[in-house]
Amino acid sequence: MEAITALMKAFWASLRDLLPIIIVIAFFQLVVLQEPLPNLLSILFGLVLVVSGLTFFIFGLEMGLFPIGESMAQAFARKGSVFWLMVFSFCLGFGTTVAEPALTAVADEAAEVAAEGGMIAHSEIAMEQYATGLRLTVALSVGLAIMVGVLRILKGWSIQYMIMAGYIGVVVLTIFAPESIIGVAYDSGGVTTSTITVPLVTALGVGLASAIKGRNPMIDGFGLIAFASLLPMMFVMIFGMVVA
């Protein structure tokens, strides 16, 4: 009963979070456009599916991903092996990013546009290789970014200076990168921090900062996502220069 009650609370919380979007769409459709909603039953059914999916996703995060991420980070800290912690951090960043549906969608779209623009051969093999190369480049950059973020937590370095230095690097690379890859690079920084990567990486940072003496989870535990957004922009621009 407690699980069912918690699930129902999560369902209503998800519906409440989606309510502003529903109101905006309904207002512009009915008041501004003054047109009835097409396929009302399908829209309502789809809305129920969206709310249910969001509910189960959040419920799953709280029950599974967040606890396992924090417990593994604390176990690595107790073990005292920096090497295996770094290997785990890289594999976590790489694996979760490769599995990101948003990254797959952006990579496929970028490959199609690159083929139409004459950057690569307009063939299925060429587009698949371009999309795969883009995904692997982003995944590699996120793996390295998580390693840098974990090292920052271990050493207690200030995040603001590292982020500023990183964005200076982004600006410099933007000057030399092909114009056709710049937009893709900037978008790659956003799609990497999505539904799969964020929960596990956040749990890793908070769990690690909680287990290390002298570290504040609120100050040191967060910030890994910032590195996971920053490095892909740089790596994708370098990827664009190599392909060009």
- Distance, CA of 20 to CA of 43 (rounded, Å): 16
37 and 88 housed in the same domain: no
Mean pLDDT over 158-177 rounds to 92
Q: Specify the pLDDT at position 181.
A: 86
My answer on whether 129 and 187 are in the same domain is yes
- Domain boundary pick from 63, 90, 112: 63
Count of domains observed in the chain: 2
* pLDDT over 70, % of the chain: 96
Q: Is the dihedral of CA 127, 132, 138, 141 positive or negative?
A: negative
The model's pTM is: 0.77
If DSSP states are collapsed to H, E and C, what string results for the chain? CHHHHHHHHHHHHHHHHHHHHHHHHHHHHHHHCCCCCCCHHHHHHHHHHHHHHHHHHHHHHHHHHHHHHHHHHHHHHHHCCHHHHHHHHHHHHHHHHHCCHHHHHHHHHHHHHHHHCCCCCCCHHHHHHHHHHHHHHHHHHHHHHHHHHHHHHHHCCCHHHHHHHHHHHHHHHHHHCCHHHHHHHHHHHHHCCCCCHHHHHHHHHHHHHHHCCCCCHHHHCCCHHHHHHHHHHHHHHHHHHHHC
Can you give the residue range of the structural domain that contains 191?
A: 80-243
Residues 47 and 101 reside in one and the same domain: no
Q: Do both 171 and 236 map to the same domain?
A: yes
- pLDDT per position as a tens digit, 175-210: 999 888 888 889 888 877 766 677 778 888 888 888
What are the structure tokens assigned to 73, written together? 């980070």
pLDDT at res. 3: 67
Residue 38, domain member (yes or no)? yes
Q: Which of 38, 63, 88 is the last residue of a domain?
A: 63
Q: Identify which of 47, 25, 46 has the alpha carbon closest to the alpha carbon of residue 36.
A: 25
Residue 71 lies in a domain: no
Asked whether the predicted pLDDT for residue 148 surpasses 90, the reply is: yes
| AA letter at 106 | V
Q: What pLDDT was estimated at residue 168?
A: 95
User: What is the amino acid identity at position 46?
Assistant: G
Do 41 and 116 belong together in one domain? no
Residues 145 and 205 in one domain: yes
- Mean pLDDT within 77-93: 84
Residue 204 domain-assigned?
yes
